[in-house]
Amino acid sequence: MPKVSVKVKWGKEMYPDVEVNTEDEPVVFKAQIFALTGVQPERQKVVCKGVTLRDDSWANFKLSNNALVLVMGSKEEDVPAAPVEQTRFVEDMNESELATALDMPEGLINLGNTCYMNATVQCLKTVPELKNALLDYDKSSGGGTAGELTSALSETMSALDGGGAGACAGAAAKLLRALHATAPRFAERGAGGGLAQQDASECWTEIVRALQARLPAAPGASALRSSVIEQYFGGTLDVELVCSEADEPPTRTTESFLQLSCFISQDVKYLQSGLRSKMAEQITKMSQTLGRDAIYTKTSKISRLPAYLTVQFVRFYYKEKESINAKILKDVKFPLELDVLELCSPELQERLAPMRSKFKELEDAKVEASLNARNKNHGDSSKEIKKKTALPYWFENDVGSNNSGYYRLQAVLTHRGRSSSSGHYVAWVARGDSWLRCDDDAVSPVTEEEVLKLSGGGDWHCAYLLLYGPKILELPEEDDEPMVTDVSDDTAGVPPTALA
């Protein structure tokens, strides 16, 4: 009898008819208790008939209908703790910090080494087109494990959008269960019996793969893009292979990608150089002319840019002696604004030119207007700039592409530790003009300077995955300065005329 209805007693509070599924991990039941009581799973002692519930097993913890389950533990806010950082008073905050502090979004509790999943979800949430597609998803549409994972992520997005801590805890538990069903390796146990730490990049890939199968493309997508994932995250490479050892005609093909890789070598100090080196590399493959393996030069150029560009720092490598994925801690700088023109094919560069010219024209006009205002002593920096129309960031007949080659950073997923199977993952996400650190259920404001310090070089958090969104060009109202912004809010993907 895997499902039973029990009574949960916490202090003076009694919660009847709590449904428990003993086929789930015990930590899922603890997440239910957290939703009811506000007591974090790690602070709970759950007892039934004198037996204490373990995190990894239901062994000896026998539940039956109407059984009484006792919960001991206090909510975190009931226990005073010393401040970990200097208190910032409201009167000392600027306008952006104040708005952030008074309207902090929800986080996701750690259900036992699930920080990799929590960080992934928070980063993906910054893509409004993806979030809206998930909120509109038909949860009754089936689709096997991919459908269950998509449905669970849809519920999680809804909970994060204002469902409260209890709803977020329940949604996170369902999402974890769906992730385990989709990729059983994520249910592996560590030496102590609890859930083992997993790789956030692998989690990202599994979730994106499920969404790719279940979320159809939005209106305006190219005929080549059948899903929202392919539409907004998918790019295309023109690839040329030239044999270095024989006089063979070049081989030209196309490849699709959902993310780019930045390999970290001794010479790579910046993201751009890491991406560039990956676009021109030497590989070994069979030569039909020589009848043996030969060295080929592989040159790749981007022929379709996605609206949202995912970049993975390849920081982990397998260390055979210790049997672990060791980490490369090297400092590799990444920018808040990224220009990928040099990585594009000549044909795409030509197509990008008109929008890039508009960016330059309006930036020049902004500089000129600023100089004129200063000369006339009318340079009031507090002047309100009103939005009028946001120009599309996509090419006509290919909604979800990028038509300028300009990007702005909107999420960073970091890892702290020495191997992918240990340590801790955190999401750092842009919200308007400010940044937030999403460390499981603890969400706090941070500065751009703090985000840029995530480039590596020590045992602090190192950037592992970067998510760049399209840089948006906004036409100002008459007599106002031009504006350039990003799409880290829910207005992204809305036709420009609707923003007028």
* Catalytic residue positions, numbered: 115, 424
Residues 145 and 148: their CA atoms lie apart, in Å, by 5
CA 455 remoteness from chain centre = 17
Under 8 Å between Cβ of 85 and 93: no
In sequence order, what are the residues at sequence separation of 6 or more whose Cβ sits closer than 8 angstroms to the Cβ of residue 429? 122, 123, 125, 126, 410, 411, 412, 435, 436, 438, 488
Helix ranges (DSSP H) in 215-345: 228-233, 271-279
29 three-state secondary structure: helix
Q: Are strands 462-470 and 472-476 parallel, antiparallel or unpaired?
A: unpaired
237 three-state secondary structure: strand
**Amino acid identity at 338:** L
Q: Which of 213, 208, 204, 217 is nearest to 141 (CA)?
A: 213
Residues 35 and 159: their CA atoms lie apart, in Å, by 12
Q: Tokens 């902004």: give the residue.
A: 366
**Joined tokens for residue 192:** 């102590």
In sequence order, what are the residues at sequence separation of 6 or more whose Cβ sits closer than 8 angstroms to the Cβ of residue 182? 145, 146, 148, 149, 206, 210
Q: Tokens 């070994």: give the residue.
A: 284
Residues 340 and 486: their CA atoms lie apart, in Å, by 16
Cα distances (angstroms) measured from residue 400 to each of 213, 261, 492: 17, 21, 11
Q: Which of 128, 127, 135, 125 is nearest to 105 (CA)?
A: 125
Residues 236 and 225: their CA atoms lie apart, in Å, by 11
In sequence order, what are the residues at sequence separation of 6 or more whose Cβ sits closer than 8 angstroms to the Cβ of residue 217? 225, 226, 227, 228, 230, 231, 400
